[in-house]
Structure 1
Amino acid sequence: MGLTDASSGGGGGGWPADAAVLRREAEPTHCAPPMPARISAGEQRLIEDPQLLGDIAEVVGGPFHVLFPERVAVNVTAFQAAFLAAGVDGFVYFGKKANKAACVARACAENGAGIDVASTGELVAALAQGVRGEDLMVTGPAKSDQLLWLAARHRALIAIDALDELDRLTELGLPARILLRVLPDGSTSRFGLDPVELEQAVQTVAADGPITLSGFSFHLSGYDAMARAELAVALVGHCLRARADGHPADTISIGGGFGVDYLDADAWARFQDDLSESWFHADPPTGGYYPYHFPVPGADMLSAVLTHNDLAGLLRDNGIRLAVEPGRALLDRAGSSVFRVQGVKTRTAQGEPYDILTVDGTSLSLSEQWFASEYLPDPVLWPPRSGHPTPTCVGATTCLESDLLSGRRIPLPRRARVGDLLIYPNTAGYQMDSNESPFHELPLPPKIVLRADGDRLRWNMDAR
């Protein structure tokens, strides 16, 4: 079967004898440690199916993404359960920028969640999947007049980011519901209203006018539950002061930033503690890494926010609804990205061989690679076959030296062959389509929707 066969060995740049392989397993000095992803039952079922992935790959003829809307429903329900357990009136808006798939928006509509949109296109796409206008939150800076008009027509909740935006909304002369986005103290963000602007905005909205001041919002970078809880208390204070001026002010939004737990604690700690340049094909990333192990993720983080200083009690006592806008957290374990191996070549590092794969897609399908970072959960090599652990990095099918899906040498369980598939798990949140581009006139990977149907999985193309 030639040099692409996992069983090929011997001299001339091939793989060494078994004794040397065992030595490398004991001392993987030129290979990163394994970092298997936490995956859902749906993803595991897909991987274990002996035919389905191959059938889809044959039909698509290129890279593709798979999505599990049933998992989105599970994640939405978990956030709703956290509100219920705390006795808080809460509402979940999916941050649509995290994934464009129509099946995700439909899952939100079917499970009582709204959608946070930031463009006319996103708003229209949400409506098309059954999300009601009053269940939309419209965010983003300097919204176009068309977006403001459409949002007002559909009674969406509009987060006002600037005074001139409020002026333009007022000039439309339409009834509208708004939140005022607060610039956190000490923040250098370009978004939100500073204290002077905030006071001016409150005074601009007439208590008996067509614009209803429904409350206040903020967004924080990072994943600090306590900081979110403490700033939420400040927003409750803003609501109470606005009520004194005759505004309903019964809603606050604390945005997103609910972490996802991709890796177990041991794998993440080992990666951080032992991180070495010798693990990488070329220079290692310089931009830092997402916290791939997150001990209190998703809905559990929301519970921590509500518990801190009894924020839940403050919300209950003052009749205030808490809105959240998770993106990544509602997509946890809800999708994967699949690439076909097109080429395999061998290089050496520290006198030891490793493989460089070329797959039929680009790293634009793993957005983390384009932020001076790398997506760390290990891909799964399919189909499963016996073989020896093989340090492997993964390159894309472009002429760019930097276009690597995995620059670190991953310990694949066997040597990959041309025609094998690589499945990058848990990529639905921001990874799979935030940066995708038809570079080289390559087609964008389609999205495949998978649903359980008794003892089998059924699939169809996503509506978009």
Structure 2
Amino acid sequence: MSALLDRHSVLLESLLEGLGSPLHVVLPEVFEQNVLALRDAFAAAGADADILFAKKANKANCYMRAAAELGIGVDVASAAELVNALAGGIPGRRIGISGPEKDDGLHALAVQHGCLVAVDSLSELRRLAATAERARATVRVLLRTRVSSQPRSRFGMAAEERHAATALCGELAGAVSLHGFSFHLAGYSTAERAVAANEMIDHCADARRHGSSSARLVDIGGGLPVRYVDPQRWSEFLAQNEPTQYHANKEFKDFYPYGGKSPGQAVRDLMGHPVDDRETLAQRATRDGIRFIVEPGRALLDQAGFTLYRVEQVDDRRGTDGYAIVTVAGSSFSLSEQWFDSDYLPDPILLPPHQAAEELFPSCVAGSTCLENDLLTWRKIAFPRPVRRGDHLVYLNTAGYQMDSNESPFHDAPLPLKVVLRGGDKNPPRWRLDRL
């Protein structure tokens, strides 16, 4: 990213002007580096793990192709996502299917292509088994289970239903093969995720005692955090954060942990978490012959994409309100943190990088729709010089959930294009449009 901004900012600005604002730039080479780093992290922690990229984190086809070339899998939750993964070169045996109470069409595709299906309820298990019987096939399943720390989750089976589902897998052995257990966990606590994974190992052991010898997989989901900013600066920000720092004194109660652990550190803490007085989670999994499945989205997209906006208007209110409102060509629908009633906090970078002024230019950043709450950045950014119409803003690290999770053709605006960029460090960058 630094090389692109320092050496090739003219190319980025010309792409934005030629292809429209906002413009998403995706970097599959960084995605590939992140996959290799995550593989190394699990290996160093002494754990066997299969990586399934959480496709919902970004729709770009280039990531599917990269995943196929690297031999990792994909986690999907709809028929359209499954079809796109197959079209991107991911074989069905490396595709996991999650989501609550999936429909019969998705079940049929999963059976046909040999996917691994995380079953959310007894009723879904019966429907899936019937689909497999009609196809004269055996479908691999995980039973998604509620964990003790989040018993009120709307996903997964409670203990009594899980026991019944495990027994039913034995009765339906010709159509269903129980391969293990999964869970849904909100939040980024590695300790809580380790405790939940240990519960799933217990369930695998219980299933094997009751005849399901193939129950040796534990799907720990995603939830590997990404570090956007330095942890010390993040702590300092939280200590002095207050409504006066935002447009209209907007108050936010929750933020993504921008200064949290790196994915590698999270893996070390997760696999190294003690499950009793004698061994860690990784050690227990090895002893019990358990292989993990991990479904990272944001963690594989760390620095693998960014978003460009063109400045359309600057309303300088410094004389009255103390800050300006910068309006860009585009909207907050292309920065999805607003969907979570939060603010995307990393500072956007101002292009072109003219010499800094003597005084900072505090501004929030608004979208071009007619909605009062259409702000990309509510926080007052201290830009190093006055912002002008025709300038460009670079929002960094937006590939993970930000750039297309909540996109909308509001006002009949076309959805932003994605440009695939390779090179730019030692070699001149090459670009193409991302196409399905």
1:370 deviates by: 2.3
Residue 328 of structure 1 aligns with an amino acid whose one-letter code is: R
Secondary structure in 2 aligned to 1:384? coil
Compute the TM-score of the two structures, normalised by the length of structure 1: 0.88
1:299 deviates by: 2.6
Q: Deviations over 1:99-152 (max 9, x none)?
A: 111011111111222111000000111111111111111000010101011011
Q: Is the 8 A contact 2:20 2:416 kept in 1?
A: no
Aligned residues: 420
Question: Residue 105 of structure 2 aligns with which residue?
Answer: 146
Aligned in 2, Cα 1:50/1:238: closer, same or farther, shift over 3 Å? closer
1:319 deviates by: 1.3
Question: Residue 288 of structure 1 aligns with which residue?
Answer: 254
Does residue 1:463 correspond to 2:426, yes or no? no
Which of 197, 213, 234 matches 2:161?
197
Q: Distance in 1 between matches of 2:9 and 2:308?
A: 15
1:269 deviates by: 1.7
Q: Is the 8 A contact 1:183 1:218 kept in 2?
A: yes
Farther off after superposition, 355-364 or 85-94: 85-94
Residue 4 of structure 2 aligns with an amino acid whose one-letter code is: L
Aligned in 2, Cα 1:80/1:305: closer, same or farther, shift over 3 Å? same
Compute the TM-score of the two structures, normalised by the length of structure 2: 0.93
Question: Residue 210 of structure 1 aligns with which residue?
Answer: 175
Q: How does 1:142-291 map to 2 (within 5 A)?
A: 142-172=101-131, 173=133, 174-185=137-148, 186-206=150-170, 208-247=173-212, 248-291=214-257
Aligned in 2, Cα 1:98/1:285: closer, same or farther, shift over 3 Å? farther
Secondary structure in 2 aligned to 1:338? strand
Question: Residue 433 of structure 1 aligns with which residue?
Answer: 404
1:335 deviates by: 0.7
Q: Is the 8 A contact 1:285 1:374 kept in 2?
A: no
Which of 324, 327, 330 matches 1:361?
330
Q: How does 1:45-444 map to 2 (within 5 A)?
A: 45-48=3-6, 49-172=8-131, 173=133, 174-185=137-148, 186-206=150-170, 208-247=173-212, 248-294=214-260, 296-309=261-274, 310-348=280-318, 353-388=322-357, 389-444=360-415
Aligned in 2, Cα 1:87/1:266: closer, same or farther, shift over 3 Å? closer
Farther off after superposition, 154-163 or 276-285: 276-285
Q: Deviations over 1:228-255 (max 9, x none)?
A: 1122111111111111222110101010
1:386 deviates by: 1.4
Residue 96 of structure 1 aligns with an amino acid whose one-letter code is: K
Q: Distance in 2 between matches of 1:126 and 1:433?
A: 17
Q: Is the 8 A contact 2:422 2:431 kept in 1?
A: yes
Residue 300 of structure 2 aligns with an amino acid whose one-letter code is: L
Q: Distance in 2 between matches of 1:60 and 1:379?
A: 20
Q: Is the 8 A contact 1:285 1:373 kept in 2?
A: no
Secondary structure in 2 aligned to 1:448? strand
Q: Distance in 1 between matches of 2:423 and 2:318?
A: 44
Gaps of 5+ in 1: 1-42
Q: Distance in 1 between matches of 2:264 and 2:106?
A: 31
Q: Distance in 2 between matches of 1:80 and 1:416?
A: 43
1:412 deviates by: 0.7
Q: Is the 8 A contact 1:382 1:422 kept in 2?
A: yes
Q: Is the 8 A contact 2:45 2:267 kept in 1?
A: no
Q: Distance in 1 between matches of 2:218 and 2:339?
A: 33
Moved beyond 3 Å, runs of 4+: none
Q: Is the 8 A contact 1:285 1:372 kept in 2?
A: no
Q: Is the 8 A contact 2:363 2:380 kept in 1?
A: yes
Q: Deviations over 1:347-405 (max 9, x none)?
A: 137x5642211100000111112222100000000110013221011111111111011
Q: Is the 8 A contact 2:243 2:251 kept in 1?
A: no
Q: Distance in 2 between matches of 1:315 and 1:387?
A: 55
Secondary structure in 2 aligned to 1:203? helix
Q: Distance in 1 between matches of 2:321 and 2:218?
A: 57
Residue 218 of structure 2 aligns with an amino acid whose one-letter code is: I
Q: Distance in 2 between matches of 1:177 and 1:352?
A: 61
Secondary structure in 1 aligned to 2:423? strand
Q: Is the 8 A contact 1:216 1:238 kept in 2?
A: yes
Residue 91 of structure 2 aligns with an amino acid whose one-letter code is: R
Sequence identity (%)? 45
Residue 130 of structure 1 aligns with an amino acid whose one-letter code is: G
Q: Distance in 1 between matches of 2:66 and 2:193?
A: 27
Q: Is the 8 A contact 2:147 2:199 kept in 1?
A: no
Residue 201 of structure 1 aligns with an amino acid whose one-letter code is: A
Q: Distance in 1 between matches of 2:411 and 2:398?
A: 23
Q: Distance in 2 between matches of 1:118 and 1:287?
A: 30
1:56 deviates by: 0.5
Secondary structure in 2 aligned to 1:258? coil
